[in-house]
Amino acid sequence: MHGQPLSKKIEDPVVAKARAERRRFRRVEVDLPGRLFNPADSREAVCRVVDLSPGGASLESEYNPESGAHVVLYIDGFGRFEGAVVRRDGRPGFGMRFSGTALKREKTAEQLTLYMNKALVDDSAMRGHDRTPTKGAAQFTRADGTIVKCDVLDLSPTGVSLKTAVRPQIGEFVLIGQLAGRVARHHNDGIGIQFVGLTEDKPSADYLHANITTTR
Protein backbone atom coordinates (compact mmCIF):
# COMPACT_ATOMS: atom_id res chain seq x y z
CA MET A 1 0.00 0.00 0.00
CA HIS A 2 1.49 3.27 -1.16
CA GLY A 3 0.13 5.95 1.15
CA GLN A 4 1.58 9.31 2.08
CA PRO A 5 4.63 8.88 4.36
CA LEU A 6 3.84 9.34 8.05
CA SER A 7 6.66 11.86 8.37
CA LYS A 8 5.00 14.02 5.70
CA LYS A 9 1.67 13.94 7.55
CA ILE A 10 3.35 14.98 10.79
CA GLU A 11 5.58 17.61 9.21
CA ASP A 12 2.97 19.58 7.29
CA PRO A 13 1.31 21.34 10.28
CA VAL A 14 4.73 22.20 11.70
CA VAL A 15 5.95 23.64 8.41
CA ALA A 16 2.71 25.57 7.94
CA LYS A 17 2.99 27.04 11.44
CA ALA A 18 6.63 28.01 10.86
CA ARG A 19 5.77 29.73 7.59
CA ALA A 20 2.90 31.58 9.26
CA GLU A 21 5.23 32.75 12.03
CA ARG A 22 7.81 33.96 9.48
CA ARG A 23 5.13 35.97 7.68
CA ARG A 24 3.83 37.33 10.97
CA PHE A 25 7.35 38.27 12.10
CA ARG A 26 8.39 39.86 8.80
CA ARG A 27 11.07 42.41 9.57
CA VAL A 28 10.58 46.04 8.66
CA GLU A 29 13.47 48.29 7.69
CA VAL A 30 13.76 51.09 10.23
CA ASP A 31 16.30 53.64 11.40
CA LEU A 32 15.80 53.96 15.13
CA PRO A 33 18.20 54.93 17.92
CA GLY A 34 18.46 52.61 20.88
CA ARG A 35 20.49 51.57 23.90
CA LEU A 36 21.86 48.12 24.61
CA PHE A 37 22.52 46.73 28.09
CA ASN A 38 24.34 43.51 28.94
CA PRO A 39 23.48 42.46 32.54
CA ALA A 40 26.39 39.99 32.61
CA ASP A 41 29.03 42.72 32.63
CA SER A 42 26.83 45.81 33.22
CA ARG A 43 27.96 47.15 29.85
CA GLU A 44 25.82 49.81 28.16
CA ALA A 45 26.17 51.05 24.60
CA VAL A 46 24.41 53.21 22.04
CA CYS A 47 23.10 51.28 19.05
CA ARG A 48 21.02 51.72 15.94
CA VAL A 49 18.16 49.43 14.98
CA VAL A 50 18.14 48.83 11.22
CA ASP A 51 15.28 46.36 11.01
CA LEU A 52 12.63 45.24 13.46
CA SER A 53 9.91 42.63 13.86
CA PRO A 54 7.85 41.39 16.81
CA GLY A 55 10.33 38.52 17.09
CA GLY A 56 13.69 40.24 16.76
CA ALA A 57 15.87 43.03 15.43
CA SER A 58 19.10 43.76 13.59
CA LEU A 59 21.46 46.16 15.32
CA GLU A 60 24.55 48.18 14.54
CA SER A 61 26.82 49.18 17.42
CA GLU A 62 30.47 49.61 18.32
CA TYR A 63 29.80 47.11 21.11
CA ASN A 64 29.30 43.53 19.94
CA PRO A 65 28.21 41.11 22.70
CA GLU A 66 29.05 37.42 22.44
CA SER A 67 26.69 35.16 20.54
CA GLY A 68 24.00 33.83 22.85
CA ALA A 69 24.44 36.63 25.40
CA HIS A 70 21.22 37.71 27.11
CA VAL A 71 20.80 41.47 26.58
CA VAL A 72 18.25 44.21 27.11
CA LEU A 73 17.40 46.63 24.31
CA TYR A 74 15.64 49.99 24.60
CA ILE A 75 14.26 51.34 21.32
CA ASP A 76 13.04 54.92 21.05
CA GLY A 77 9.29 54.86 20.57
CA PHE A 78 8.98 51.09 21.10
CA GLY A 79 10.17 50.45 24.62
CA ARG A 80 12.12 47.64 26.29
CA PHE A 81 13.00 44.23 24.85
CA GLU A 82 14.90 41.25 26.23
CA GLY A 83 16.49 38.50 24.21
CA ALA A 84 19.58 36.70 22.97
CA VAL A 85 22.31 37.86 20.60
CA VAL A 86 22.33 36.03 17.28
CA ARG A 87 25.28 36.18 14.90
CA ARG A 88 24.69 36.69 11.17
CA ASP A 89 27.37 35.34 8.85
CA GLY A 90 28.75 37.84 6.37
CA ARG A 91 26.64 40.77 7.57
CA PRO A 92 27.65 43.78 9.67
CA GLY A 93 26.35 44.20 13.19
CA PHE A 94 24.39 41.45 14.88
CA GLY A 95 20.88 40.20 15.39
CA MET A 96 18.76 39.85 18.49
CA ARG A 97 16.01 37.30 19.05
CA PHE A 98 13.37 38.61 21.46
CA SER A 99 12.09 36.45 24.31
CA GLY A 100 8.96 38.43 25.13
CA THR A 101 5.45 37.17 25.71
CA ALA A 102 2.81 36.77 23.03
CA LEU A 103 1.15 39.94 24.36
CA LYS A 104 4.42 41.85 23.96
CA ARG A 105 4.77 40.59 20.37
CA GLU A 106 1.21 41.69 19.57
CA LYS A 107 1.92 45.14 21.00
CA THR A 108 5.13 45.43 18.94
CA ALA A 109 3.25 44.40 15.80
CA GLU A 110 0.73 47.19 16.45
CA GLN A 111 3.56 49.68 17.05
CA LEU A 112 5.23 48.66 13.78
CA THR A 113 1.96 49.08 11.89
CA LEU A 114 1.57 52.60 13.29
CA TYR A 115 5.22 53.36 12.52
CA MET A 116 4.87 52.26 8.88
CA ASN A 117 1.59 54.13 8.40
CA LYS A 118 3.08 57.33 9.83
CA ALA A 119 6.14 56.96 7.62
CA LEU A 120 3.97 56.64 4.52
CA VAL A 121 1.87 59.69 5.45
CA ASP A 122 4.83 61.82 6.48
CA ASP A 123 6.94 60.95 3.41
CA SER A 124 3.98 61.69 1.14
CA ALA A 125 3.40 65.05 2.82
CA MET A 126 7.08 65.98 2.59
CA ARG A 127 7.26 65.02 -1.09
CA GLY A 128 4.19 67.16 -1.78
CA HIS A 129 6.01 70.32 -0.71
CA ASP A 130 9.34 71.68 -1.85
CA ARG A 131 12.04 71.72 0.77
CA THR A 132 14.23 74.77 1.16
CA PRO A 133 17.75 74.09 2.42
CA THR A 134 18.12 76.41 5.40
CA LYS A 135 20.90 76.85 7.90
CA GLY A 136 20.51 78.30 11.34
CA ALA A 137 20.62 77.60 15.05
CA ALA A 138 17.37 76.63 16.73
CA GLN A 139 15.96 74.94 19.78
CA PHE A 140 12.87 72.95 20.62
CA THR A 141 11.08 72.52 23.93
CA ARG A 142 9.77 69.09 24.89
CA ALA A 143 6.58 68.36 26.81
CA ASP A 144 8.52 67.99 30.06
CA GLY A 145 10.05 71.46 29.63
CA THR A 146 13.48 70.25 28.47
CA ILE A 147 15.06 72.65 25.97
CA VAL A 148 17.16 71.02 23.25
CA LYS A 149 19.55 73.03 21.09
CA CYS A 150 19.68 71.96 17.43
CA ASP A 151 20.41 73.11 13.87
CA VAL A 152 17.95 73.59 11.02
CA LEU A 153 18.70 71.48 7.94
CA ASP A 154 15.76 72.37 5.69
CA LEU A 155 12.23 73.79 5.72
CA SER A 156 8.98 73.17 3.90
CA PRO A 157 5.52 74.75 4.39
CA THR A 158 4.55 71.73 6.51
CA GLY A 159 7.63 71.00 8.57
CA VAL A 160 11.30 71.31 9.40
CA SER A 161 14.23 68.90 9.51
CA LEU A 162 16.57 69.31 12.46
CA LYS A 163 20.07 68.11 13.23
CA THR A 164 20.09 66.82 16.80
CA ALA A 165 21.33 63.88 18.83
CA VAL A 166 18.09 63.95 20.86
CA ARG A 167 15.32 61.96 19.21
CA PRO A 168 11.98 62.22 21.04
CA GLN A 169 9.38 59.55 20.42
CA ILE A 170 7.51 59.83 17.13
CA GLY A 171 4.23 61.64 17.78
CA GLU A 172 5.56 63.73 20.68
CA PHE A 173 4.46 67.37 20.53
CA VAL A 174 7.15 70.02 20.83
CA LEU A 175 7.57 73.77 20.55
CA ILE A 176 10.13 74.64 17.89
CA GLY A 177 11.06 78.29 18.28
CA GLN A 178 7.65 80.01 18.33
CA LEU A 179 5.83 77.30 16.39
CA ALA A 180 4.13 74.13 17.58
CA GLY A 181 4.79 70.78 15.96
CA ARG A 182 5.03 67.06 16.46
CA VAL A 183 7.92 64.69 15.84
CA ALA A 184 7.06 62.98 12.55
CA ARG A 185 10.16 60.93 11.82
CA HIS A 186 13.73 60.10 12.76
CA HIS A 187 16.59 60.30 10.25
CA ASN A 188 20.36 59.82 10.28
CA ASP A 189 21.11 63.37 11.45
CA GLY A 190 18.18 64.02 13.75
CA ILE A 191 14.42 64.43 13.45
CA GLY A 192 11.67 65.78 11.21
CA ILE A 193 8.97 67.93 12.79
CA GLN A 194 5.54 68.50 11.26
CA PHE A 195 4.00 71.88 12.08
CA VAL A 196 0.58 72.03 13.73
CA GLY A 197 -1.78 74.95 14.24
CA LEU A 198 -0.21 77.32 11.70
CA THR A 199 -2.24 80.50 11.18
CA GLU A 200 -1.10 80.80 7.56
CA ASP A 201 -2.13 78.25 4.93
CA LYS A 202 1.12 78.57 2.98
CA PRO A 203 3.71 80.21 5.20
CA SER A 204 6.76 81.57 3.43
CA ALA A 205 10.25 80.30 4.11
CA ASP A 206 11.15 83.71 5.53
CA TYR A 207 8.22 83.57 7.97
CA LEU A 208 9.15 80.07 9.11
CA HIS A 209 12.84 80.89 9.38
CA ALA A 210 12.10 83.97 11.50
CA ASN A 211 9.88 82.00 13.88
CA ILE A 212 12.20 79.02 14.26
CA THR A 213 15.83 80.13 14.32
CA THR A 214 17.57 81.60 17.33
CA THR A 215 20.85 83.28 18.05
CA ARG A 216 23.50 81.63 20.20
pLDDT digit of tens for each residue in the chain (216 aa)?
A: 455 444 444 445 544 444 444 444 567 888 888 899 999 888 999 988 988 989 999 998 888 888 899 999 998 878 899 999 997 665 668 999 999 888 888 888 888 877 776 654 444 444 444 555 667 888 999 878 899 999 998 888 888 899 999 988 887 888 888 888 888 888 888 998 888 776 555 667 777 778 787 755
Query: What is the Cα–Cα distance from 198 to 207, expressed in whole angstroms?
Result: 11
User: Does residue 96 share a domain with residue 156?
Assistant: no
* Chain center to CA of 154: 21
Q: Evaluate whether residue 1 is within a structural domain.
A: no
Q: Which domain holds residue 106?
A: 6-111
Would residue 123 count as lying in a domain?
Answer: no
Distance CA 60, CA 73 (A): 12
| Beta-strand relationship, 173-176 and 132-141 | antiparallel
Counting the structural domains of the chain, the total is: 2
pLDDT at residue 83, as a whole number = 94
- Note whether 33 and 100 are same-domain residues: yes
The reply to whether 12 and 102 lie within a common domain is yes
Residue 74: predicted pLDDT: 92
What pLDDT sits at residue 72? 94
| CATH value at residue 153 | 2.40.10.220
Same domain, 103 and 144: no
Q: What is the pLDDT of residue 130?
A: 54
Mark whether 66 and 33 lie in a shared domain: yes
